[in-house]
Amino acid sequence: MNVYRYEQNPLVTPADIKPHREDFEVIGAFNAGVAKYGDETIMLLRIAERPISKDPKIIKSPIFNPENNELEIIELNLDNSTYDFSDPRTIKKSGEPQSFVYLTSLSYLRIARSKDGHHFTIDERPFIYPSNNLEVYGIEDPRITQIDDTYYIYFSAVSPHGVGESMVSTKDFITVEHHGMIFAPENKDVLIFPEKINEKYYALHRPVPKSVGHPEIWIAESTNLLHWGNHKPLLSLRDGMWDSGRMGGGAVPFKTEKGWLELYHGATLDHRYCMGAVLLDLEDPTRVIARSSQPILEPEAPYETEGFFGNVVFSCGAIVEGNIIKMYYGVADTSMACAELSLEEVLNSLVYI
Residues contributing to the site for a copy of itself (CB under 8 A): 98-101, 133-134, 137, 158-164, 179-187, 205, 207-213, 216, 218, 220-224, 226-233
For residue 292, the minimal CB distance to a copy of itself (Å) is: 22
Report in angstroms how near the CB of residue 286 gets to a copy of itself at its nearest.
10
CB of 205 to a copy of itself, least distance (A): 7
| Nearer to a copy of itself among residue 10 and residue 164 (C-beta) | 164
- Distances in Å between the Cα of 68 and the Cα atoms of 20, 63, 131, 136, 151 are 18, 12, 10, 12, 29
Q: What is the closest distance, in whole angstroms, from the C-beta atom of residue 148 to a copy of itself in the complex?
A: 20
- C-alpha dihedral (198, 204, 208, 213), degrees to nearest 10: 60
Q: Taking a C-beta distance cutoff of 8 angstroms, is the pair 300, 315 a contact?
A: no
* Three-state DSSP class for residue 349: helix
Cβ closest to a copy of itself, residue 84 vs residue 345: 84
Q: What is the distance between the alpha carbons of residues 206 and 164, in angstroms, rounded to a whole number?
A: 10
Q: Which helix (H) or strand (E) holds 345?
A: helix 343-349
Find the shortest distance in angstroms from Cβ 291 to a copy of itself.
18
Quote the Cα angle for 307-64-273, to 5°: 25
Min. distance of Cβ 186 from a copy of itself in angstroms? 4
Q: Are 188 and 248 in contact (CB under 8 A)?
A: yes
Distance CA 14, CA 30 (A): 9
Rounded to a whole number of angstroms, the minimum distance from the CB of residue 169 to a copy of itself is 14
Q: Measured from the CB atom, is 228 or 328 closer to a copy of itself?
A: 228
Q: Of 87 and 300, which has the nearer Cβ to a copy of itself?
A: 87
Rounded CA gap, 247 and 267, in Å? Answer: 6
**Nearer to a copy of itself among residue 162 and residue 194 (C-beta):** 162
Handedness of CA 122, 124, 128, 133 (dihedral sign): positive
In sequence order, which residues have a C-beta less than 8 Å from that of residue 239 and are 6 or more positions away? none
* Residue with Cβ nearer a copy of itself (203 or 338): 203
Q: Which of residues 97 and 302 has its CB atom nearest to a copy of itself in the complex? A: 97
